[in-house]
Amino acid sequence: MSGRPPYPPFTAETAAQKARGAEDAWNGRDPAKVALAYTEDSVWRNRAEFIKGRAEIETFLTRKWARELEYRLIKEVWAFHENRIAARFAYEWRDDSGHWFRSYGNENWEFDEIGLMRRRLASINDLPIAESDRKFHWPLGRRPDDHPGLSDLGL
């Protein structure tokens, strides 16, 4: 089977693997690479924006990461069932004026039989924070395995 393992139906272990894989990809901030995890006709709701297909996903992510500098993300599975995963996340970033934010959100994911995401529904809120209140301090890229997750950080 080709696609993007692990494949549904998910277990607690494979749902956590799927969430960590998504986290790692998004922390890599490569829009073209990230877009390949979604079906050609994937449908998103991201905040109040509606996106359809890999080309729009790539355009959206390019714009996002040009604005959200020093982006660091942590995802955590909230629930799963068959081909669906509910995840919560937080990410920290700064704007080009040096103001820091922590964005909190929830995502509902639906996957096809080969592990590609065909639907992503995201609700996100931004909180301005002082640089001294940051909690995500690893070098840009993949979060180290020994870095605390959301629950460990009290988020």
CATH number for the domain harbouring residue 111:
3.10.450.50
Give the integer Cα–Cα distance in Å for 149 and 155: 9
Average pLDDT, the chain: 97
Q: Per-residue pLDDT tens for 127-147?
A: 999 999 999 999 999 999 999
What is the phi/psi pair of residue 71, to 5°? -65, 125
DSSP code, position 139: P
Rounded to the nearest 5 percent, the helix, strand and coil shares of the chain are 25, 40, 35
| Residue 123 domain flag | yes
Asked whether 52 and 42 are in contact (CB, 8 A), the reply is: yes
Give the integer Cα–Cα distance in Å for 61 and 27: 12
Q: Per-residue pLDDT tens for 27-62?
A: 999 999 999 999 999 999 999 999 999 999 999 999
Q: Could you tell me if residue 118 is left (phi over 0), alpha (psi between -120 and 50 degrees) or otherwise beta?
A: alpha
Q: Is the peptide bond before 9 cis (omega within 30 degrees of 0)?
A: yes
pLDDT at 1 over 70: no
Count how many domains the chain has.
Answer: 1
Q: Per-residue pLDDT tens for 56-91?
A: 999 999 999 999 999 999 999 999 999 999 999 999
| Residue 150 domain flag | no
Give 44's contacts (C-beta < 8 A, 6+ positions apart).
50, 51, 52, 57, 60, 119, 120, 121, 122
Domain range for residue 63? 12-133
| Residue 151 domain flag | no
pLDDT at 80: 98
pLDDT at 2: 80
